[in-house]
Structure 1
């Protein structure tokens, strides 16, 4: 049983973070924020996958102005990602951003930071103090050295210095992130930071890479930290469709039994007995179950010989054969189906089980 680290509580829209609330899964759009239609469409897909919080880039005033129609069209809290320009942070909050991500040290001075904090107070907007290895102040780099796995002190010092700047302005609705592209630096940095502050922590491995490399790096770093009770919210950063980030994020939480959403999919790795396109079948089933919320165990197996037996604990499963497949429930054959109808019939049965589960 994982014992969560006790942290302060903040609320971004209706989502509460810290103080024992469920670990939230975030993502970030890769559309142009000014393209409201495309951005909203992508957020709707992310919502369907379970995304709790969404962040959008705000590189200019036009993007800041687009936040209002975006927020009005979505059902999850909207966070503005700001770099360098304090005016954009203020404008983003005026146009409906429910959270902002800034690095206080690169906003251009204390007066500009004060204006941002004043706007956050006025609009009740929590601030994420986000520090990356590449954005650490020169004096801290000189004092502590570039952050490494053995010495992440510069990251921690930068984050806590910036937190104090905001606290001195009378505001403490904060969460902190200290991101590195190195897995061990990320792990050790957050472990040490968690001992020095009780603010909620946003976890992430920045610039993690594509689907395979990014999933592995993020799962190792975030999995270790979450298993130690560290982390209140996180993003799996992938050079990929952001929906994949959410899918990986929930599988990570499920594997640690921290949080479950929708079905668990199990599938065999294939072997010489496989006579169907198992990769394609599994991918289409996986895409479908991402939109489900009822907790089922769903199996996709490669052959009718071992399928039901190896996946006996599954609530429902499908196994392919030569020209025919079977649908099974709790290890027992439920129905035989021609191969060309197998996917359609199986998804219909999943839909039926979901509808029944939502009624109970």
Structure 2
């Protein structure tokens, strides 16, 4: 897979696009007007691996709260603005690293130029956020419904508004809740612009369905070389978005950090609590930064061989289990000792 080359845009202390890594971001669901709650959530997201945090700015009180939030957060903070350019001005003044707007609804060309000039002065990039639920009326009438072509036309129109203001520190998202529409939209857009692309399936749903849809949409595009930063949109705890996003990056080869965890499905040969053991191991290793593959297998007959590519793993039998490295058995322990013995061996690696 060859990654589509885009411009490299500086966002606070990190980069999006070009030869920089694909970053994972999320959005807080706290009331931004409550700085302490918002700070606590961003810090928890950072522990989970979040690299960029976006916050909603629905009113001036929220914009003012940014002055207490941005100085205390080491990762870039993005202000999400709709319609009111004055909220964007105040957010810029209060230390944000990136602005998310739809230029077409921010209040006219003079307002766009004002924001572009302010962002240029402070080296703040702008993300154009096009969404299938907020297409311009004339574009929707032209195509009759939301189509990839309609979404791309909207994105290009918004890019041109910033071009007119001599601003090109731009990142683009072009999201849809329909996975196939989302994927085709990004494919079309990537052929028309060289701006970094922010991938996401909007309104993807709850943890289970949303993770599946996002994995297909985001993971599929990343596998085609498209995408520079991602956000998994889930109805739930934002930390789950980061966990899912990092796993997508691992699966597509974009992240070489943290445990790669594999476990076999249960079958009639399984004689141990494989589900319980697998969950214990996964939970114990969730914050590990070791770049290793760990296998939890349910059959001592085939387990080590099937998981020979794993750096380390366990396979259970009737009350006993094996610990193996690269398919070679190194120890035999009781079922009760399997998990602690495995974790001890991982600690040595």
Q: Same fold (TM over 0.5)?
A: yes
C-alpha displacement at 1:99, in angstroms?
0.8
The aligned counterpart of 2:261 is: 265
Kindly tell me: are residues 325 and 185 of structure 1, through their superposed partners in 2, closer, same or farther at Cα, counting changes over 3 Å?
same
The aligned counterpart of 1:254 is: 250
Q: Does 1:231 align with 2:257?
A: no
Distance across 1 between alignment mates of 2:188 and 2:25: 23
C-alpha displacement at 1:208, in angstroms?
0.9
Q: Is the 8 A contact 1:202 1:231 kept in 2?
A: yes
C-alpha displacement at 1:339, in angstroms?
4.0
Distance across 1 between alignment mates of 2:337 and 2:32: 41
The aligned counterpart of 2:304 is: 308
SS at structure 1 position matched to 2:192: coil
Q: Does 1:197 align with 2:193?
A: yes
**Which of 178, 186, 193 lines up with 2:174 in the alignment?**
178
Gaps of 5+ in 1: 354-360
**Which of 259, 270, 274 lines up with 1:278 in the alignment?**
274
Q: Does 1:57 align with 2:56?
A: yes
Distance across 2 between alignment mates of 1:303 and 1:71: 51
Distance across 2 between alignment mates of 1:345 and 1:116: 58
The farther-off stretch of 107-116 and 117-126 is 107-116
C-alpha displacement at 1:247, in angstroms?
2.3
SS at structure 1 position matched to 2:128: strand
SS at structure 1 position matched to 2:26: strand
Q: Is the 8 A contact 1:235 1:245 kept in 2?
A: yes
SS at structure 2 position matched to 1:279: helix
TM (norm. structure 1) is 0.89
The aligned counterpart of 2:324 is: 328
Query: What is the 5 A alignment of 1:1-360?
Result: 2-148=1-147, 152-353=148-349
Q: Deviations over 1:278-317 (max 9, x none)?
A: 3333234323433222210111222444332322221111
C-alpha displacement at 1:127, in angstroms?
0.4
Gaps of 5+ in 2: none
TM (norm. structure 2) is 0.91
SS at structure 2 position matched to 1:38: helix
Distance across 2 between alignment mates of 1:12 and 1:107: 22
C-alpha displacement at 1:182, in angstroms?
0.8
Distance across 1 between alignment mates of 2:320 and 2:69: 47
Q: Is the 8 A contact 2:112 2:165 kept in 1?
A: no
Kindly tell me: are residues 75 and 346 of structure 1, through their superposed partners in 2, closer, same or farther at Cα, counting changes over 3 Å?
farther
Kindly tell me: are residues 304 and 115 of structure 1, through their superposed partners in 2, closer, same or farther at Cα, counting changes over 3 Å?
same
